[in-house]
């Protein structure tokens, strides 16, 4: 009657492989969702930056009108102009410009803006919505009004 009782504690190799496989699948889904959330957040931040630059250009345009620095109906203001004249404190390494077209009853604003990852090329500023970024965020790398209007310097 010498029966031995074996102490079987722990997991088998098959059980460990099953757990690792399940964890890998969960991580794959989580990584995909995190990447999507990060991309959407970056696009929204880009649109908010673009809106800020347009609002700053509106201020600079009004200031130019009040100080008789602007004549004509179209004005192209670069981000570097806005920075250099104290309208824009910080815009990172982004480049771009805003075209003010005052030829109609109300002024319209179009923006050319690039932060290296996303680009807006001649986009109507009134249509910018961070909650619904435009699909053409990756366009050509043009960051200028294209010579339209008078450039304020």
What does the pLDDT look like over 61-85, one tens digit per residue?
888 888 887 777 888 888 888 888 8
Question: Considering the chain, what is the average pLDDT of its residues?
Answer: 81
From 96, 93, 95, select the one nearest 76 (Cα to Cα): 96
**Domain locations in the chain as residue ranges:** 13-151
Element (H, E) at 42: helix 13-66
What does the pLDDT read at residue 153?
42
Region 105-121 average pLDDT? 86
How many percent of the chain have pLDDT more than 70?
81
Q: What pLDDT band is residue 135 in, cutting at 50, 70 and 90?
A: low
In this prediction the pTM is 0.73
Strands 74-78 and 150-151: parallel
**4, pLDDT greater than 80:** no
Instruction: Kindly state the tokens that stand for 29.
Output: 């889904």
**Spatial CB neighbours of 148, under 8 Å, sequence gap ≥ 6:** 74, 76, 99
pLDDT at 150: 52
* Over residues 110-137, mean pLDDT: 82
């Amino acid at each position: 009657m010498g029966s031995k009782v074996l102490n079987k504690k722990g997991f088998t190799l098959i059980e460990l492989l099953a757990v690792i496989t399940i964890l890998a699948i969960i991580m794959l889904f989580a990584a995909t969702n995190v990447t999507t959330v990060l991309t959407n957040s970056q696009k929204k931040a880009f649109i908010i930056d673009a809106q800020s630059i347009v609002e700053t250009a509106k201020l600079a345009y009004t200031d130019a009108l009040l100080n008789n620095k602007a004549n004509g109906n179209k004005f192209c203001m670069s981000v570097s102009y806005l920075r250099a004249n104290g309208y824009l404190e910080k815009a990172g390494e982004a480049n771009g410009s805003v075209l003010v077209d005052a030829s109609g009853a109300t002024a319209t604003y179009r923006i050319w803006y690039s932060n290296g990852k996303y680009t807006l090329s001649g986009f109507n500023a009134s249509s910018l919505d961070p909650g619904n970024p435009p699909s053409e965020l990756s366009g050509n790398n043009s960051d200028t009004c294209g010579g339209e209007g008078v450039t304020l310097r």
